[in-house]
Amino acid sequence: MKKLKSDIADPLSSEEMPDYLLNDSRTFEQYMDESPSIEDLRQIAYFEHKSALIELHLLFWTAHLNSGTGQLLITESAAWQISKSSTRRIGRARFQYWSDKIKAIILADDQVKVPNNRVTYEMCFNYVTEKIRQLRVQLTKYRTELKQRKEQLNTYFTAAIDEKIKSFVEEYGMTLRRILIESKIVVIKCDYYDELFKSNFDYENAYAHQLKLFEKICQSKLNKETARMEVDLLKQRVVHQHYSDLFLAFRIPEPPALLTLQDRGVR
């Protein structure tokens, strides 16, 4: 199998401040109304960003784990559940499926030795559970640091400021990333259910034309879901990149009468 790299960046690979929080952009300062403790608040926003990002990646890797261990049917809501009668037919064993995507990620990792390029169940399980463990350790670290920094600001750090920082991080830092990762999770689920239904068809000795019809339906469903995610991503990108700059550049002109006043404080 050809080595492929994951298209979702590892949140543990960099400790750099994200671009939207940098001093150069001035976006954070304007959003927080030029607070006197702006640098302290910037650090809090940074740890909010890192915590939220890791939580997203935990959802991604947990979806892979649930698929590979057969827990996906148990953990999913009714909206994702297939019919009870269908799952009972496959009840002879809990259906487990490690996708080609996760196998490609493992093959692309230079830290993992894969004899003959054959990725086994144990390799997938160990790799994914280790990823989840590392993310949880780092999440605990960030949350502890976040709590300490908030306590250092004492009474100055109010619930209103806390909510404002979280809203800023979500709007400028997480929205696009959330759409990207959630779209990947949708694909994981679609792949799992595709394989589950195929297994059910094989078990029931389905006819060839039934299999072809089923594959066509599954592909149409996946295409529709993928298109929806891409449209959402495009909309968010347009709003984020265009309108944010537009609003920041917008200035309300002063009335001509006020311009005649010499005292700027009065103006």
Q: Are 151 and 144 in contact (CB under 8 A)?
A: no
pLDDT of residue 27: 82
**How many separate domains does the chain show?**
1
12 in a structural domain: no
Rounded Cα distance, 13 and 7, in Å: 14
pTM above 0.85, yes or no: no
Phi-psi region of 119 (alpha: psi -120 to 50; beta: other; left: phi over 0): beta
pLDDT digits (tens, 9 = 90+) for 121-168: 999 999 999 999 999 999 999 999 999 999 998 878 889 999 999 999
Of the candidates 120, 146, 128, 124, which has an alpha carbon nearest to the alpha carbon of residue 51? 146
**Total length of the chain:** 267
3 in a structural domain: no
17 in a structural domain: no
257 in a structural domain: no
107 in a structural domain: yes
266 in a structural domain: no
24 in a structural domain: no
Range of the domain at 112: 36-248
21 in a structural domain: no
